Structure 1
């Protein structure tokens, strides 16, 4: 279904962000809010993100971004009239239409104090009980200086009853260097009957920080939403800025951005493949893939000045050009990594112990994938073929065409196979980008003296699609910036993938998803 078919009376088309794809903005009422969600669902569209903002004292705006055939539909629903009753009025629940909206709505309440009317699950998500009772971080009157409690509140996990059922609590502090998250297992023996996650421990108030950050410096904050996704988030942010300010980027800068994005994708897949081997008791895989990832990151540092490519993508282009000698070095490295990864894939495929752990473990069926709106490599490993680079190709992907990788099996083995094949595809793309890199400038100076405007950024990161919704203020300020990580859609699906497996397989299943804590807990 195309966005124009909705025919909202005040619908505005923002600048195109991709070849043949645009973003549309419309302000609607409560009835249209619910009706549109149902229409989008019936048409095969999906909910990308849901967030809120306080416009003025007592007046709020709830936003939803939907992916449709011809781009993004950004809907805004005004809530409240300044009389102080907005918290009681709330906004219509979307979780009955899109299950993935559940935790987003819970986060909106914790940040703004606005309740989704009719929602079944209203438990806190980001607020663990340490905030004052009347403190909502994104309300304009919240100064952030309130006295916080030191005692965390009990969280009402859903109990599972039955003979022999007991609970295993894991986290939030884990062994090793890993972000915090709590996992509550209900088991009989070692068989998992239910898993429930409790996240929010990595909440850093980033969305409030954006309001205090100059518009043309916001890419630095976006690039630190998730350290392993610095390129995707910074590019999405810069795309939103450039759309809001109607700025065109030079072709060379676009191609360099894609080069950085594909190098970020390969680095993360190399690390995950080693960790997956290790979690299945194959330490040799960890050693080899760690070596390959380290070589890859070192060349990032030599060529662009940063191992994880932070602050390389900036509004108007890129901060660093590539020296011709590193073009040769990267081409050579692509040949070496491609050959060595193929050797490792043969070893993984022939190692019976690995295949016994991978095959049939953590099965995520297509029905569950569709229900939760699972995206990215996890979705593609269960047959859901979604990739923004293919479906809504932004420059330069409308010229450098991506061959989507997918698998229908839906288990750990499928997610491993998708990672292997995405490495090969990214290496193919990197070779093309290096060989056909346009000449010209890499940076366009931006004048931000424009009236307040809107922009969206939508990038296919290595986990899935990363989204940024931006509202600019006056004099180069940010009125509201919302960043969305695909882990919001994928975390609930992990709870289902674990059901029926044994407890010792959870680390392996969890690593095969490798979802984000910090980027999810903004």
Structure 2
């Protein structure tokens, strides 16, 4: 259970506004604060003043027959928000009637959650008062404005099989004035990447505003989760964002295991960490090479691609999948590491360390690369903090938060997690953070092998109680991943909400591109590398 040393200050300042505290182990490691709706906005304001970071907000419709039998005769919306400070987590919770689903927005105090609130409205019908941006976000004309997919009366297969009309009427921000011209980019791009629309307002080549329009990869993940068994949910979670399959699957498992009181075998926990660090290294290698390629340094791109390919082939050989999909299952892992595989990894790590250092030395000390990356795409610490950025985007701007270090989960509480931090906030800093994380993950991989215990690799997930809830918090390679799970009366999933770190880093891209030239957008974008799929759900 989180210490949450700042909670007494929050409670004392809330005063008589209708707050009451409930220590609830089902949402460990967070504490849980039940609020009257009137206290929702004041709680956010005070938390912001106390230096808390907002880690996500979601709505949970309680409108099935089982929900009504358990919670009363009137359908309701349960709304939850997760706050963090100093590695301690706090869940704020309130409920509003579905017939009058109004609640004050917390976005004026935490700008980074504006899109999450808009997403919650589009999927549940929750109406935010005082929301700074009332435009729809996730809904691309694919369902009527008065229909909400996460409600019980909306079928999982959808209501209209016809092709959705083009979203041509989305109200973009108006141009900034005379001499400004607009440059629309996407959603279809000149490469094998996911779709997203970027609308630039530029004066000459200087970017004065960037507005993103995402949501093109919305697959209905949250609706598809309803009714699944735990194994089915983990397979779905592993596809929230394919390049973060280990982290999202682990977060979903962690939430369900906490909800059901499952003790994961120690060997399985170490193997999960080994998989997660392999995922981190593979993706950082890809990004380092791609950033270098975007500024014409093809040598680093080719070398990183070569090493990443070797790394992923080994993952396929030892764990069954290049991207490590479906390697994590409820209660443990799907496949053990053999004695021969153990020795292979030992040799691989030593050889890999020797291979990367000459390449990393060049990347860190090449003047022509510095010319393109230094001072490009500056994100200040204040902006990163205001938006709630974690991962390499936050670390490159001076924010040292890492779940493995600040709120460690097994087996990381036994490891020394070194958090690489830069303060410059530019593309070069985001590259250096990635270099540091690759080196740190390599060191941890050997420590994990040193500490790999004998024993089982999985244990059955106990049947959860009706309505049991769980919270998963994992540090993926992009940053903090949050997963919320609620079970129904039959042991199946009633609500699943995965929050990828890209929800906070995509808005950061809109800020860090300002003052740069349009041709530098590709390298700025790659340095952030938000997940379209992880964001769009």
User: Aligned to 1:53, what secondary structure does the other structure show?
Assistant: strand
Decide which of 439, 449, 473 is 2:454's aligned counterpart: 439
Q: Are positions 1:121 and 2:136 aligned together?
A: no
Note the C-alpha offset of 1:391.
0.5
Partner of 1:357 in structure 2?
Answer: 372
Aligned to 1:103: 115
Offset at residue 451 of structure 1 (A): 2.9
Cα separation, 1, equivalents of 2:26 and 2:136: 37
1:253 counterpart = 2:268: yes
Does residue 48 (structure 1) correspond to residue 55 (structure 2)? The answer is: yes
Counterpart in 2 of 1:342?
A: 357
Task: Give the Å deviation of 1:12.
Answer: 2.8
Q: Deviations over 1:275-295 (max 9, x none)?
A: 011101111111111000000
Deviation at 1:146, TM superposition (A): 2.2
Other-structure match for 1:313: 328
**Shift in Å, 1:134:** 2.5
Determine the C-alpha separation between the residues in 2 that align with 1:278 and 1:70.
Answer: 36
State the Cα distance separating 1:353 from its structure 2 match.
2.1
Does structure 1 retain, via aligned residues, the 8 Å contact 2:108–2:132? no
Q: Out of 278, 285, 307, which is 1:263 matched to?
A: 278
In structure 2, what is the Cα distance between the partners aligned to 1:455 and 1:26? 15
- Deviation at residue 247 of structure 1 after TM alignment: 1.1
For residue 72 of structure 1, what is the aligned residue in structure 2? Answer: 89
- Structure 2's unaligned 5+ residue stretches are 12-18, 64-73
Is residue 2:189 matched to residue 1:177?
no
The answer on 1:188 being equivalent to 2:203 is yes
Q: Which residue is equivalent to 1:210? A: 225
Task: State TM-score, norm by structure 2.
Answer: 0.93
Question: Does the C-alpha gap of structure 1 residues 449 and 392 become closer, same or farther in structure 2, counting only changes over 3 Å?
Answer: closer
Structure 1 residue 64 displacement after superposition = 0.7
Q: 2:212 maps to what in 1?
A: 197
Q: CA RMSD in A?
A: 1.6
Separation in 1 of the partners of 2:171 and 2:297?
Answer: 38
Q: Give the deviation of 1:515 after TM superposition.
A: 0.6
Within-5 A mapping of 1:329-408? 329-408=344-423
Tell me how far 1:327 sits from its aligned partner.
Answer: 1.4
Contact 2:230 2:330 in 1 (8 A): no
Say if 1:69 and 1:284 are closer, same or farther in 2 by CA, change over 3 A.
closer
Secondary structure (helix, strand or coil) at the match of 2:199 reads strand
Question: Equivalent residue for 2:515?
Answer: 500
SS at 2:270 equivalent: helix
Decide whether aligned partners of structure 1 residues 449 and 280 sit closer, same or farther in structure 2, where only a CA change above 3 A counts: closer
Give the number of aligned pairs. 513
Query: C-alpha separation between the residues in 1 aligned to 2:166 and 2:508?
Result: 30
Contact 1:2 1:68 in 2 (8 A): no
Matched ranges for 1:221-300 at <5 A: 221-300=236-315
Matches within 5 A, 1:424-435: 424-435=439-450
Runs of 4+ in 1 over 4 A off after TM superposition: none
Q: 5+ unaligned residues in a row in structure 1: which ranges? A: none
What CA distance in whole angstroms lies between the structure 2 residues aligned with 1:308 and 1:235? 14
The TM-score normalised by the length of structure 1 is 0.95
